[in-house]
Amino acid sequence: MTTARLSKRQDLVRRIADRLLDHGVAQIALRDLAAELGTSDRMLLYYFEDKADLVSASLEAVSARLAARLEQESPAAPLPPAALLAALLPAVRAEAMAPVMSVWSDLCARGGRGEEPFRGIAQRSIIQWIGWIEARLAVADPGSRRSTAVALLAILEGARQLEQVLAGSTQDIEASLASVFVIGP
């Protein structure tokens, strides 16, 4: 791919990711999306192999934004599970994260129903997030670290979902959960 074509593709990915953050991952009609972007559906397909490639690239851009935000919130050194959970919960509950988390909900819902490319994207994202959390956990046993990362992701996801529906509902869970995660480093 030429530099100019790659640059245009990256610009389109950024703009489509912005659109997803504004409107969610509802049915994305290629023609409507192209019109919103001031181009044609044929031009979109010039920069992307197909609609699945366009959706995948755009959702990966949204995921990268989430990762960058969580990277800012995460500690430099690995932490015990309770401390890592306490550091990450405010980030996933933050109002500024709501659009990204809404897209994540849509992605998981459609992926959970088996819709492609959403299922594959969601599966890859979950694997990446488990690895991301694992790398930040101060848990000596690799097996325990992996299962603890999965548990933390489930808690973060659940808290985020509850907050999305009922703001403030998970405000005091850190103290309760801290006693559950007494795994030593």
Per-residue pLDDT of the chain (185 residues; tens, 9 = 90+): 799 999 999 999 999 999 888 887 766 778 888 998 999 989 999 999 988 899 889 988 988 888 888 888 777 899 999 889 988 888 888 888 888 888 888 888 889 999 988 899 899 999 999 999 999 999 999 889 999 999 999 999 999 889 888 988 988 888 787 777 654 44
Q: Output phi, psi for 62, to 5 deg.
A: -65, -45
Please, which residues have CB within 8 angstroms of residue 152's CB and are 6 or more apart in sequence?
A: 81, 84, 85, 88, 133, 137
Residue boundaries of the structural domains of the chain: 3-180
pTM of the predicted protein model:
0.81
CATH 1.10.357.10 given to domain 3-180:
yes
Check: CB of residue 44 under 8 Å from CB of residue 33.
yes
Distance CA 139, CA 151 (A): 13
